[in-house]
Chain A
């Protein structure tokens, strides 16, 4: 099947007649009026094999037009001719005018001005398209009536009772449920409140008891600590007292013993004695030393003299005999001291005599190798002098100690 193409598609042509004014708002669903094809002049009816072509009913035929015009002219000419032939009234005499007079029963005003009365005629204004009226189809039914007497169909009260019961019952049930729910909620709320109160109260009670206990505990602690401190202090005090007493007693004889030991060790000295020791005795010794020095010097000089003499004699003897003078030297070595001390006399050449600044005893000890006699004599008075200061055991001891040492050095 070939598909057709059209220059103009076939469509139903709408009828152009507008019955109503075009409303400003475009009506959406206004049914488009289509012209009925049966009454359309444009549709060709009848047999189509003997058609008059070219002429539409609207358009005038030119031949016809001409004929009509000729006919018109003819008619006009004829009419004019007839006008000429018509009998007329004669012209009026001079000075007179023909006047038309009305002879009817009712006079009519004749004026050359035509009474003009404006009359208007207007078609009804275009109305808005009224709304589609309800389609109420014509009644095609038959009215039939039935008479229902009261009580025949049903007894309203009886019938309605179960329905009413259900309705009212359901409503009441629902409302009861809701009320119960609310009541339950209110109860819950109330019990919650009560519980909360109780809880708060209990909590407060617990806290109060805790606080109380804490305070009591604190109090107890404090008292215990106080008590303990008191006891402690007491102990300390008693200990201190005991220590004090003991110390006193202990130290009671400390003082005399201290004094005695100090005295024993010589820290307490008799100032006079000390003075004697410090002042007098050194001076004494110095003097003694000096004296001894003098005697020593004297002796030395004497010794030198003797030596010179002896040397001279010796030299002269040697020159004379030339025999070693050994006996003389031996005799020199033999003499011992009278003292029992273990003193070893060393032969000392008189030339090696040195003035030592130690106690004059040492020099004094050296001297007796040459001269025995006078030293012993001289020693005695020195010793006696030393016995003057009594109680000076130390000095004695020191002398004793120094004697052997001094002598041992020799």
Chain B
């Protein structure tokens, strides 16, 4: 009985579909009119490459959108580089249409996420081609551009490539004039580049700009600016400039900041700047010991590490040593820390504090 009832229900509520000669009113589900059709298998990329070089604007745009989707796969990236997509993309960078440029930079950005892409960028001189777009009026374009540079800079050869192509002065110059997101990207690019070679940046007056950025409202920008300062104060010239421009008091002030990243990077910058004698005395004058001691109790490893190192630097000076001799207990506690590096740093600090001439 129940079964018959069920049958009845199923029959009445089932729609009867008849055969239609017409395909449904709806378009097939996979068509995206904004994208070019991706050919099957190994023909996908050559076809897209050809479409990239076509004269028609719409074809180019559609091909770029399809390429964006494909480039997430590293195998496709490798193949694209192999068949020479990069040359067509380089040519498209100078295109007059905005969407084309934005999409091209996006494709390059996605390609830069893979190592294959990065190394091929270095071979094909993409850095130079991209540098023409630094003054592009559209921020999306510039944002992607700086993303590419940031990814590229994480590779040591990439960083060197960026330095060799003379981009550092223009990047430093752009720093105060861009929007905040792009500023973060630029700072992220500059940090590894300056770790390689900081002379050009020092020559283009990077330190005053960075000093400005240290006082910004955005915590990310502050921490990244402090990171760049850490890198820039590795060579001696950098340390001198840092001291010259009175950055050290600001760094000491940043030690009391809320964000652990900011604290860590500020301590790192202080650590590098306090290597020279003048730097040490400037830091001592700016009363750096108190905040650094407070940072030693921070939960973040990087903060503790950098604070320990900075205190080690300051302990080289006799005044610093005198003040820190009372705090040796804190360092003993740090010696039992989890992190190997922190332990070692604490040992070195104790050794320096207890050194007798």
Contact = CB atoms under 8 A, between A and B. Distances in A.
B7 A204 contact: no
B316 A208 contact: yes
A201 B302 CA distance: 10
Interface centre among A198, A200, A203 (most CB of B within 10 A): A200
Given A147-B7, A203-B234, A215-B277, A197 B341 contact: yes
Q: What's the interface size class on A, roughly?
A: 20 to 34
B49 interface: no
A194 B10 CA distance: 64
B3 A212 contact: no
A205 B271 CA distance: 9
Interface of B is mostly: helix
Given A201-B309, A204-B313, A207-B275, A150 B6 contact: yes
Given A150-B3, A200-B306, 4 more contacts: A194-B301, A197-B305, A197-B306, A197-B341
Contacts of B312: 205, 208
Contacts of A205: 309, 312, 345, 348
B260 interface: no
B313 A197 contact: no
B161 interface: no
B154 interface: yes
A194 B154 CA distance: 14
B230 interface: yes
A149 B10 CA distance: 10
A215 B275 CA distance: 11
B62 to A, nearest CB: 26
Nearest to B302: A197
Nearest to A193: B302
A211 interface: yes
A248 interface: no
A204 B305 contact: no
Contacts of B6: 150
A149 B345 contact: no
A207 B348 contact: no
Contacts of A200: 230, 268, 271-272, 306
23 contacts: A134-B22, A135-B21, A147-B7, A149-B7, A150-B7, A192-B154, A197-B301, A197-B341, A198-B341, A200-B230, A200-B268, A200-B272, A200-B306, A201-B309, A203-B234, A203-B272, A204-B271, A204-B313, A208-B312, A208-B316, A211-B275, A211-B276, A212-B316
A197 B276 CA distance: 20
A50 B22 CA distance: 54
A211 B348 CA distance: 15
Interface in A49-93: none
A204 B341 contact: no
Question: Considering residues A193, A197, A201, A203, which has the most beta carbons from chain B within 10 angstroms of its beta carbon?
Answer: A201
A150 B2 CA distance: 11
A53 B230 CA distance: 113
A187 to B, nearest CB: 15
Contact of A204 (B22, B275, B302): B275
Contacts of A211: 275-277, 316
Contacts of A150: 3, 6-7, 10
Contacts of A201: 271, 305-306, 309, 341, 345
Contacts of A212: 316
A197 B227 CA distance: 10
Interface string B189-232: 00000000000000000000000000000000000000000100
Interface string A125-142: 000000000110000000
Contacts of A149: 3, 7
Interface in B6-36: 6-7, 10, 21-22
B92 to A, nearest CB: 28
A133 to B, nearest CB: 12
A204 B3 contact: no
A93 B316 CA distance: 160
A362 to B, nearest CB: 99
Contacts of A215: 277, 316
Contacts of B345: 201, 205
Nearest to A216: B357
A154 to B, nearest CB: 14
Contacts of B301: 194, 197
A189 to B, nearest CB: 9
Interface in B294-322: 301-302, 305-306, 309, 312-313, 316
B309 A204 contact: yes
Contacts of B271: 200-201, 204
A68 B271 CA distance: 129
Nearest to B272: A204
Contacts of A207: 234, 272, 275
Contacts of B276: 211
Contacts of A204: 268, 271-272, 275, 309, 313
Contact of A208 (B268, B305, B306, B313): B313
A193 B271 CA distance: 17
Contacts of B309: 201, 204-205
A397 B328 CA distance: 106
Interface string B339-355: 00100010010000000
A205 B312 CA distance: 9
Contacts of B316: 208, 211-212, 215
Contacts of A192: 154
Contacts of B348: 205
A201 B344 CA distance: 11
A193 B10 CA distance: 62
Interface in A193-226: 193-194, 197-198, 200-201, 203-205, 207-208, 211-212, 215
A42 B316 CA distance: 122
A12 to B, nearest CB: 29
| Nearest 3 A/B pairs, CB to CB | A207-B275, A204-B271, A211-B275
Contacts of A198: 341
A238 B345 CA distance: 54
